């Protein structure tokens, strides 16, 4: 039925583009300053949700608004249900846009706007797919529900609310990732490691770590670190400063890093260094500015708790992307290696040291077992764990019918093999027992989600629309 769905998708092109432009023009960044009853994530997000639901009502679907947290557009009857999970909230815009992010602009067959590929473009394509299935009047055995979330980019409170007030489908897909499909998503362990500050008994060199600041999100690699160091009384002499400055210059050269050191009038030393930002699920793609700065500072002489902070950062966490020094290294065939990111690093004389980690564990391993390993190791190092948050991993076996069906549809439509993917990130697919992330980005295409000048290729959205229609039909027939 590939040709039929492709033709139908092409017939939708003009209407779809007009709809897409007005949909993308809604600024649906979460804005709690305009939050109210029925609009828990603010005015813009609520407006985007209503735009989808209004379209559903207009086209004769049954719709439901769950107090602004989520919405559903359903078609068909039956006890069994297929879920298609999308989201209408978008991330903040950032700098560097050529055309305004909420004034959709078409250039070279691409539509540029915040949300074009993540996830409003795919969400609308999935809606049109459902409409094509309805208009075809082909008989279905199962009910299909498009479930629209509003808080995917932040706390997933939308899906929490949905799960508490409605029934989550067991089987389905989420058009919020890449083709062919992601069947395994890593789980997360997010602890804060802390160590108190001890009053020094006396330090031969008299150095003190006044403050250390690096990173502000657990799931990002810090791209900057700053530290302030002070001396005790008579150690402030010129010779010491020259010695440290010389070592610092050599260190920067050796690590090909950009940094700065200056001495204030009061004699304090201010260090800063640049790293390379990356997503916390791929720490090996970045350079952690915090652990790098600690690597240098540890060569100076500090008292016990300051030294312990610097040595945790430099001896254990620096470039320990796979958790070997944390004694947690492991991997599985479907989702690869456990990864560790040290995202927020702090020290000051009042509170001592703290390090927020974002650990992503392979989809098929046991989370409690690895939390225990972490606890043992942290204890051994003389640190304490606080504010521990975990989230489960997700895995649908290769031979599950949903994967078989979606693979067949994908292969028919593209002529390519449906190699299964895994991810360190999470999509709504993990909410469904047998849920996979399915498209919309085709293999080899650039992902501009969360970046400036985000775009979607219009032909690709239409192709995805045809695939989604076929997929909905094949899963529900
Ligand atoms: Zn998304």
Ligand 1 centroid–CA 449 distance in Å is 8
- Write down the domain spans for the chain: 2-185+394-476, 188-387
pLDDT for 167 equals: 95
Which residues, 6+ apart, have CB-to-CB distance to 224 below 8 Å? 214, 272, 273, 274, 275, 289
Q: Is the pLDDT of residue 40 over 70?
A: yes
pLDDT for 295 equals: 98
Q: What is the mean pLDDT of residues 270-291?
A: 94
Ligand 1 centroid–CA 232 distance in Å is 52
The answer to whether 152 is a known catalytic residue is yes
> Over the stretch 394-423, which tens digit does the pLDDT of each residue have?
999 999 999 999 999 999 999 999 999 998
Strands 171-174 and 81-87 turn out to be parallel
Which residues, 6+ apart, have CB-to-CB distance to 182 below 8 Å? 420, 421, 422, 423, 427, 429, 436, 437, 438
Ligand 1 centroid–CA 161 distance in Å is 18
The answer to whether 119 is a known catalytic residue is no
Mean pLDDT of the chain: 94
CA distances from 229 to 264, 367, 382 (A): 10, 39, 23
pLDDT for 423 equals: 86
Q: Is the pLDDT of residue 392 over 70?
A: yes
Q: What are phi and psi of 293, to 5 degrees?
A: -65, -40
pLDDT for 196 equals: 86
Ligand 1 centroid–CA 47 distance in Å is 18
Ligand 1 centroid–CA 427 distance in Å is 7
The domain 2-185+394-476 belongs to what CATH superfamily? Answer: Zn peptidases (3.40.630.10)
Q: Is the pLDDT of residue 1 over 90?
A: no
Cα–Cα distance measured from residue 124 to residue 147, given in angstroms and rounded to the nearest whole number:
12
385: left (phi over 0), alpha (psi -120 to 50) or beta: beta
Cα–Cα distance measured from residue 390 to residue 341, given in angstroms and rounded to the nearest whole number:
15
Rounded to 10 deg, the angle between the 120-136 and 2-24 helix axes is 140
Cα–Cα distance measured from residue 299 to residue 311, given in angstroms and rounded to the nearest whole number:
10
> Over the stretch 164-192, which tens digit does the pLDDT of each residue have?
999 999 999 999 999 999 999 999 999 99
pLDDT for 220 equals: 87
Q: Which member of 81, 151, 152, 454 is catalytic?
A: 152
Cα–Cα distance measured from residue 279 to residue 283, given in angstroms and rounded to the nearest whole number:
6
Ligand 1 centroid–CA 292 distance in Å is 32
pLDDT for 203 equals: 53
Ligand 1 centroid–CA 443 distance in Å is 17
Q: Are 326 and 374 in contact (CB under 8 A)?
A: yes
The yes-or-no answer to whether 2-185+394-476 and 188-387 have a common fold is no
Q: Is the pLDDT of residue 237 over 90?
A: no
pLDDT for 231 equals: 80
- Predicted confidence band at 245 (pLDDT cuts at 50, 70, 90)? very high
Q: Is the pLDDT of residue 445 over 90?
A: yes
Ligand 1 centroid–CA 118 distance in Å is 5
Q: Which long-range contacts (CB under 8 A, 24 or more apart) does 241-247 make?
A: 241/269, 244/269, 244/300, 247/296, 247/299
Which residues, 6+ apart, have CB-to-CB distance to 339 below 8 Å? 186, 281, 282, 283, 284, 321, 322, 323, 359, 360, 424
Q: What is the mean pLDDT of residues 423-448?
A: 93
Q: Is the pLDDT of residue 200 over 80?
A: no
Q: Are 123 and 70 in contact (CB under 8 A)?
A: no
Which tokens hold the place of 47? 């407006």
Ligand 1 centroid–CA 152 distance in Å is 7
Ligand 1 centroid–CA 90 distance in Å is 8
The candidate with the shortest Cα–Cα distance to 429, out of 168, 85, 186, 127, is 85
Percent of the chain with pLDDT over 90: 85
For residues 464 and 349, the model is more confident at 464
Read off the DSSP letter of residue 237: -
Strands 339-348 and 81-87 turn out to be unpaired
Ligand 1 centroid–CA 450 distance in Å is 9
pLDDT for 199 equals: 63
Q: Is the pLDDT of residue 276 over 70?
A: yes
Q: Which member of 6, 81, 89, 185 is catalytic?
A: 89
Ligand 1 centroid–CA 119 distance in Å is 5
pLDDT for 94 equals: 82
Class of the domain covering 188-387:
alpha beta
> Over the stretch 97-115, which tens digit does the pLDDT of each residue have?
999 999 999 999 999 999 9
DSSP for 361-407 reads E-TTS-HHHHHHHHHHHHHHTT-EEEEEEEE--EE--TTSHHHHHHH
pLDDT for 205 equals: 55
Ligand 1 centroid–CA 414 distance in Å is 23
pLDDT for 236 equals: 56
Q: Are 169 and 81 in contact (CB under 8 A)?
A: yes
Weakest mean pLDDT among 25-29, 82-86, 89-93, 370-374:
89-93
Q: What is the mean pLDDT of residues 44-67?
A: 98
* Element at 6 (helix H, strand E): helix 2-24
pLDDT for 262 equals: 94
Which residues, 6+ apart, have CB-to-CB distance to 446 below 8 Å? none
């Amino acid at each position: 039925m590939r040709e039929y769905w492709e033709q139908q998708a092409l017939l939708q092109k003009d209407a779809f583009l007009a709809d897409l432009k007005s949909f993308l023009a809604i600024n649906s960044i979460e804005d709690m300053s305009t939050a109210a009853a029925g609009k828990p994530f603010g005015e813009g997000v609520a407006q985007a949700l209503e735009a989808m639901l209004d379209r559903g009502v207009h086209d004769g679907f049954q719709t439901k608004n769950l107090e602004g947290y989520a919405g559903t557009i359903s078609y068909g009857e039956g006890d069994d249900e297929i879920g298609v999970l999308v989201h209408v909230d978008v991330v903040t815009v950032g700098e560097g846009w050529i055309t305004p992010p909420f004034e959709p602009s078409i250039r070279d067959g691409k539509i540029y706007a915040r949300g074009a590929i993540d996830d409003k473009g795919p969400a609308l394509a999935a809606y049109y797919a459902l409409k094509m299935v309805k208009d075809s009047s082909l008989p279905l055995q199962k009910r299909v529900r498009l479930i629209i979330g509003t808080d995917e980019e932040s706390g997933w409170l939308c899906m929490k609310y949905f799960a508490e007030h409605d029934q989550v489908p067991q089987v389905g897909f989420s058009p919020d990732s890449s083709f062919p499909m992601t069947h395994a998503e890593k789980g997360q362990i997010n602890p804060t490691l802390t160590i108190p500050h001890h009053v020094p008994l006396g330090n031969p060199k008299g150095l003190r770590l006044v403050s250390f600041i690096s990173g502000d999100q657990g799931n990002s690699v810090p791209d900057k670190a700053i530290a302030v160091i002070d001396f005790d009384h008579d150690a402030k002499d010129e010779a010491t400063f020259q010695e440290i400055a010389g070592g610092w210059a050599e260190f920067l050269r050796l690590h090909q890093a950009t940094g700065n050191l200056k001495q204030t009038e009061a004699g304090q030393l201010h260090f800063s260094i640049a790293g390379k930002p990356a997503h916390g699920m791929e720490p090996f793609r970045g350079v952690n500015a915090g652990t790098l700065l600690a690597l240098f500072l540890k060569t100076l002489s500090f008292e016990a708790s300051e030294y312990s902070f610097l040595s945790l950062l430099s001896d254990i966490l620096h470039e320990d992307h796979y958790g070997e020094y944390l004694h947690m290294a492991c991997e599985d065939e479907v989702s690869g290696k456990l990864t560790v990111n040290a995202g927020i690093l702090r020290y000051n004389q009042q509170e001592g040291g703290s390090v927020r980690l974002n650990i992503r564990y392979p989809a098929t391993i046991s989370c409690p077992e690895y939390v225990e390993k972490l606890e043992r190791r942290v204890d051994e190092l003389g640190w304490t764990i606080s504010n521990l948050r975990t989230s489960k991993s997700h895995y649908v076996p290769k031979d599950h019918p949903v994967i078989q069906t979606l693979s067949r549809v994908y292969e028919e439509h593209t002529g390519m093999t449906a190699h299964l993917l895994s991810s360190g990130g999470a999509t709504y697919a993990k909410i469904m027992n047998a849920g996979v992330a399915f498209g919309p980005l085709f293999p080899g295409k650039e992902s501009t989600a969360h970046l400036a000048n985000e775009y979607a290729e219009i032909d690709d959205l239409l192709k995805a629309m045809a695939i989604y229609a076929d997929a909905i039909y094949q899963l529900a027939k």
